[in-house]
Amino acid sequence: MWAAIRASWPLFVGMILLMVSNGLLTTLLTLRGSGLGFSDSVIGLMQSGYPVGSLLGCLIAPRLIMQVGHIRVFAVLASIASAAALVHLVTFDPWSWGAMRLLSGFCFSGLYIVSESWLNGSTSNESRGSLLSIYFIIQTGGVTAGQLLLNVSSPEGILLFIVVSILVSFSLVPMLVSASVTPPYVLPERISLAALFRLSPMGLSGSFLNGISQTVLYVALALYGSAIGLSNGSIGVLIGSMTLGGMLFQFPLGRLSDRVDRRLIIVGAPGLSIPLCFALATLQNPADQLYLLCLLVLLLGGLTLPVYSICMAHMNDHLKPSQVVAASGTLVLILASGMTIGPVLGGLAIEHFGPEGVFYLLSLAAALTVMTALFRLWHAPTPTENRASAVAMSANLTPEAATLYPDASSQDDARANK
């Protein structure tokens, strides 16, 4: 495993820089837009351009890689993403910002695809699971570190936007100086949405609802912090706490779901988040209780962010090994569809119900997830075949990360050798 990690260091270094910049830019634009007088719903609509761009990136970037190769695509997309961050300094309307968010979503999705497919091509089946776990931790840790950079300067200035641009540009360096040979790229087959829904309605509906919840946390939580009077640095700490909670709870919940019916975890985690949401919504003077607020948000992130990977594992329990990669690609698109409407709903909730509206919305999404899982528990038997491990999966992963899924790969190889 250590040999694989040493061979993959350029990808990991580049990914850290990308995630720090992406995490910083998401919150930075929310705070800057609020300072410019954008309404909460307009900010949500502007931020929804990112997941729309990610959808397009998942569809288009793989074909670009096949045509011109990993390094060229990475260089082009990083250059465009770096420039897009600076455009926010010269335009001050939500429409151009929304267009730049769409462009950023497309570029970052493509950059993730390049990294993940390269990582997959440079590792063996024995080390894939470990590398995917490290990759997930790097992604989550990078987003958390990006929030802390909000303490460096004010969102009203230009420094943080320049930092974002520099970090994206620097992510090119380890990739370009790497001596590794780029692997060939093969487009994964697709499985139709209808066929996948027949196999795993819980996996699809749970991922869609979790996509809504994740972007509400990443976008609307910053609006909440601003509305209750937190400083920009404190808002960064708040969102960083939420992300850290997701990282801390990911592995315990995943391991627990490997031992019991996963639908029980999909009932339990969102179910426990509902009273947390109401506690946060009714917290008196939250700005004066920052430590308590961050603790509650950490727990909320821990009970919300890991649900996607458990839904993916539940879906994989119902699939043949040869279907896992294609189905995971479709599931990523379903997640991104939920993420597209999450920022809009979050902005509207705050506009119409006040700052606490974000937690009422999250409790609604959690309640729908719980009801769906209970319905499936009542009407569908527990799968007994193709039981796989719940591997950590971040919302930033693309369909290419599914090829790093260790159990699917080993089962495919075993079947091919028969």
How many domains is the chain built from?
1
Lowest mean pLDDT among 186-195, 302-311, 389-398: 389-398
Handedness of CA 85, 341, 208, 191 (dihedral sign): negative
Q: Domain holding 321: CATH number? A: 1.20.1250.20
Nearest to 124 by CA among 238, 1, 13: 1
Mean pLDDT of the chain, nearest integer: 84
Tell me the C-alpha distance between 386 and 388, whole Å.
6
Q: Is the pLDDT of residue 78 over 90?
A: yes
How many of the other CB atoms lie within 10 Å of CB of 190?
Answer: 15
pLDDT at 393 over 60: no
237 or 55, greater pLDDT: 237
User: Residue type for 41, please?
Assistant: S
CA distances to 6, 65, 270, 288, 399 from 362, in Å: 40, 37, 9, 23, 26
Task: State both tokens at 247.
Answer: 């990282």
Q: Are 356 and 280 in contact (CB under 8 A)?
A: yes
Instruction: Locate 135 and state its tokens.
Output: 């990759």
Q: In which band, very low, low, confident or very high, does the pLDDT at 410 lie, cut at 50, 70 and 90?
A: very low
Q: CA geometry: angle at 263 spanning 240 and 126, to 5°?
A: 70
- Percent pLDDT > 90 in the chain is 50
Q: Say which residue the tokens 């028969």 belong to.
A: 418
Residue 252: its pLDDT value, please?
87
Q: Is the model more confident about 119 or about 314?
A: 314
CA–CA gap between residue 247 and residue 298 (Å, rounded): 10
Would you place residue 188 in the very low, low, confident or very high pLDDT band (cuts 50, 70, 90)? low
pLDDT tens per residue, range 206-220: 999 999 999 999 999
pLDDT above 80 (res 186): no
How confident is the model at residue 3, as a pLDDT?
A: 63
CA–CA gap between residue 318 and residue 321 (Å, rounded): 9
Whether the model pTM is above 0.75:
yes
Nearest to 406 by CA among 394, 392, 395: 392
Q: Which domain holds residue 392?
A: 2-417
Q: What is the pLDDT of residue 401?
A: 60
Whether residue 103 is predicted with pLDDT greater than 90 in this model: the reply is: yes
Q: What is the mean pLDDT of residues 386-391?
A: 56
Angstrom distance (rounded) from CA 413 to CA 314? 21
